[in-house]
Chains A and B, each alone.
Chain A
């Protein structure tokens, strides 16, 4: 099924919250999934795997990604060197945030594969593994041939369903009181 990017972001944000992320990080997860889908990557599937794994093989890409984005200012002085990152493609939206803040292209080297982003676009070569033993992030590179931008997402249906299950955990079970008062209606609409 084809989804709008707004739907992807909303679902990803809720799923991350349902998986236990704080609201601030859940917002980053929503934007990250949206950004990846806009590049033509299945951000829904990547996020679903990262959120659903009982034991992540390596550090959480959302948490370390947020830290990479927050520390963008130090990047021109010293590259970030990370070890053992799970689903490292999920780092790329955060690297893009750093690139936007620096207004410079940022280069990512990941177990022989690499990517470059100027914040908006992305180019990748090689296969990013599910588990990276080593990731280097540095201010470098030129984005000459970005992947074509997408305005829709067609995520893996099972991954979408997995995010929906996590999102569901954020919804309060209905009670009689909430039905009656929570929405505040109660007057007839047949008038």
Chain B
């Protein structure tokens, strides 16, 4: 049996910032389920005028319940278009409604959803989101279709999407239903299924809207977007720092994501033999996954270098796979071991995700282990001896105990929340007046401080005694104890150093969503693509419900 990779190897920011989607990604869990269960989809309303203003409703009907995307389309002046969370108007705004909305529901939502953070929704709503057009691609497609032409495929591929979402709020935000309200439903049990459904339906709405606008402009001369082209379009997502603290603030949840994938990798590596069908499946999807990497575009120097590394890795891997004898014992473990020595972290993680593909029966069941169903994990065990807490801290943060946390380069940054927009930001501790407002997002530094204080204490004493004398370490003691059930819950890198790259944290989370084409716009801001290549909801079948993520051609 091959063991799971150790947290020391997996949980560095450099490694987390190299993760790729896999069978367990939340988008693929959703489309697989909907295809398997035969969900049906309808559009009960599309009341949008020639200027592109109005609302539409898209309903997904599952075996027990229905969910509806309520979309509001707006006529947004260009000077108002901003992806940042400080924006106050958008090209389109959305909510995912629990069921099928009545006329009264639509009237209520029309007064609130377009306002986003300035509005309120109710327990009948599960998520709230908004999207902006890609101006250049939108105009190109409306122009072409209105004149009876298909758009230039190269233009489509250069952008990849017609609209990008700039926030998708769930879990009780803005008054919506709490996670607990839906967590027991089988279709919502895995993380972020409501948000992923909302985005999947949004992509359908966006296609309808662009065709509607082309028809409004061109009348009878206009044509629909060819399905082959429409399928290539995804939904963009533009994400900033707001997402980064999430994986620190939810250590049990994040552990469950990482542990599920690591368990899947270990299971496949442990297989003694690979059948010829399994090897053929791997090789087919290898080529298709390489197609996706070929169309991945970015201008950011860090990602450009990583991407060049990945493309080199894929070439090397191609030669290795072609020359390899897959009839040897434990072929997948052999390949992974070869990759550890020969490939960059990007290439290693790309391969690790890809070897899972032939083994749905072995892997997919782990998807149900990825939610956080353990609210008791946050209750401190005050009877635990001080010595045990010290050992737990050394296990998760051994590397951090050697770091000089007073050196400016090791604590150059501080996470804070701005008064202006109430969103997380990352500032320069020694240049801005922010230290007094610091958020608890440097677990390693805090662990080193708690460790030093604990070492002064009697090892057999209960931790409750220590906490009474040192209440400031309560947060850290809780995290140390959580690590008992969440070995992959702590990032094993400095999150406040001068060289920290918040995009690594964003990448880790987005990879589990299932995004592709990670395109940083700075060290703390990223655009990605969701659902590119996926069938539109009415076309979803058992055949295309999962491997749509790998494009058949390099376009």
Contacts and interface: CB of A to CB of B under 8 A. Distances in A.
A78 interface: no
Given A24-B478, A190-B78, A178 B418 contact: yes
B475 interface: yes
B312 interface: no
B364 interface: no
Contact of A184 (B428, B433, B523): B523
A22 B240 CA distance: 27
The A contact surface, by secondary structure, is helix
A25 B425 contact: no
B62 interface: no
B98 interface: no
A8 to B, nearest CB: 9
Q: Assign chain A's interface to a size class.
A: 35 or more
Contact of A97 (B123, B379, B471): B379
A133 interface: no
A111 B84 CA distance: 54
A6 B183 CA distance: 14
A70 to B, nearest CB: 3
B472 A22 contact: yes
B325 to A, nearest CB: 48
B418 A71 contact: no
B220 interface: no
Interface stretch (A39-47, A51-59, A136-144, A167-175): A167-175
B433 A172 contact: yes
A2 B416 CA distance: 28
B391 interface: no
B432 A73 contact: no
Contact of A4 (B175, B468, B502): B175
Given A6-B173, A185-B83, A171 B418 contact: yes
Interface stretch (B194-202, B205-213, B345-353, B380-388): B380-388
B521 interface: yes
Interface in B209-239: 238
A28 B171 CA distance: 19
Nearest to A101: B379
Contacts of B135: 190-191
A190 B82 CA distance: 7
Nearest to B164: A189
Contact of A170 (B132, B437, B475): B437
B431 A182 contact: no
Highest count of chain B CB atoms <10 Å: which of A23, A27, A69, A189 = A189
Interface in A1-32: 1-7, 22-25, 27-28, 31
Given A2-B123, A177-B431, A189-B83, A23 B440 contact: yes
B509 to A, nearest CB: 16
Contact of A70 (B82, B467, B522): B467
Interface string B372-383: 000010111111
Interface string B454-465: 000000001110
B475 A23 contact: yes
Interface of A: 1-7, 22-25, 27-28, 31, 63, 66-67, 69-74, 97, 100-101, 151-152, 168, 170-175, 177-179, 181-187, 189-191
7 contacts: A4-B177, A28-B474, A101-B381, A170-B437, A185-B84, A185-B521, A189-B82
